[in-house]
Amino acid sequence: MKESSPINEERLFQEFIKLAEIASPSCRERQIADYLKKRLTELGLAVEEDDTAAKIGGNTGNLLARLPGQEGLEPLFFACHMDTVAPAEGVKVSFKEGVFRSHGDTVLGGDDKAGIACILEVLQVIRHEEPSHCPLEILFTVGEEKGLLGSKNFDISKVTAKTGYVLDATGSPGGIVIAAPAQNVLYITVKGKAAHAGFEPERGVNAIRIASEAISRLRLGRIDEETTSNIGIIEGGKATNIVPDAVYIEGETRSLDRVKLDVITDEITREFEKIKEIPGAKCDVRVVFEYPDYRLEPEQKIVGFAAQAVKRAGLDVRLETSGGGSDANIFNDAGLQVANLAIGMQNAHTTEEYLESRDIIDVAHILWEMVQMSAAAGK
């Protein structure tokens, strides 16, 4: 139990700082992957890198590492992503009063290096304590922040485990994300007709005006408790004295329910397509299905096993629904059942990101409990 836990807190903190200070922007994870290959090999794991780099225009593939375990036990899978959002270069970690932060000019990268550090710490403990445990399969993905590129290109048949965990959810440890939405992204171009705004505005068709009229008709924000929509980018126009002839817009829709996702996506598409009825105006809407949703039931073994580990680590269990996608969406869709676990990251994707040291200790404890429980065939 927690009191007698062999987790080495200082070693865990140092590992986290080391990982955070290795720059790993999306699709440029070479340096951290090389470091992780070395560390995993030292810890007795067999590591292979796949061919995803070439497929996504990156310099690094996904790393899959295997640690053999007791025969006859089903393997367990864990995954984190190696990349971070920008500003990702030159991270310097300050560690004061139990809180990790960047120096304020970059992200911290606790998303997702907090998870990686905890996995490495537990592998250290396994090496030292030699407990009996199930075989472990650990995947470190690339390009997650650029649209789950690594997991989308990973050959899931390389994994023999049927269940596992992604360590990539925000919030304090104990959170188990059992449902996450599917997402569509909409790429919209609205075309009008340029004209001199002072001499002959009547010859123009103002693309900004017709685009904004369409946007004003949309349902945006929270549609219902399972569904959201957003227009996030709008660009257009060249000068105040030109009637603008083009506007470019990007938006998204998300829902835990695939039918609702289609309904809101179609509704937005239709509103923009009405622009085609305006003389001289054109509109093109392209919808890209970004990732599928997933939903686990509280009764499922994968959820119960995590809940038990959380309790054994002395924490409260929270079964949660996420508003965002992660590699967990891709793995579940491919038939590998995974829940996403909260790892303590706060204000992720901002330069104000921070991580409480207590939280990564708790995450490491949860993982260590899972490893020990795996030997008791409790999963």
In this complex, which beta carbon is closest to Zn ion, that of residue 151 or of residue 253?
A: 151
Is 362 near Zn ion (CB under 5 A)? no
Segment contacting Zn ion by CB under 5 A, of 85-93, 108-116, 185-193, 219-227: 108-116
144 included as an active-site residue: yes
Is 111 near Zn ion (CB under 5 A)? yes
CA 10 to CA 8: how far, in whole Å?
6
User: What does each C-alpha distance from 251 to 188, 234, 262, 266, 337 come to in angstroms?
Assistant: 8, 9, 14, 13, 30
In this complex, which beta carbon is closest to Zn ion, that of residue 50 or of residue 112?
A: 112
Give the pair of three-digit tokens for residue 11: 């070693």
In this complex, which beta carbon is closest to Zn ion, that of residue 148 or of residue 275?
A: 148
| Edge-to-edge order in the sheet of strand 182-191 | 221-224, 227-236, 246-255, 182-191, 282-291
In this complex, which beta carbon is closest to Zn ion, that of residue 113 or of residue 260?
A: 113
Segment contacting Zn ion by CB under 5 A, of 112-120, 156-164, 266-274, 280-288: 112-120
Nearest to 236 by CA among 250, 226, 225: 250
369 included as an active-site residue: no
Q: 16: which residues sit within 8 A by CB, 6+ positions away?
A: 93, 100, 110, 113, 114, 117, 355, 360
Give the pair of three-digit tokens for residue 112: 């997702």
Is 112 near Zn ion (CB under 5 A)? yes
Could you say which of 168, 245, 356, 362 contacts Zn ion (CB under 5 A)? 168
Catalytic annotation, pick one of 29, 50, 144, 245: 144
Q: Which of residues 252-271 bind Zn ion (CB under 5 A)?
A: none
Q: Residue 336: which region, alpha, beta or left (left: phi > 0; alpha: psi -120 to 50)?
A: beta
Is 50 near Zn ion (CB under 5 A)? no
**What is the smallest separation between the CB atom of 140 and Zn ion, expressed in angstroms?**
12
Is 327 near Zn ion (CB under 5 A)? no
Active site residues: 83, 144
Question: Which parts of this chain interact with Zn ion (CB under 5 A)?
Answer: 111-112, 168
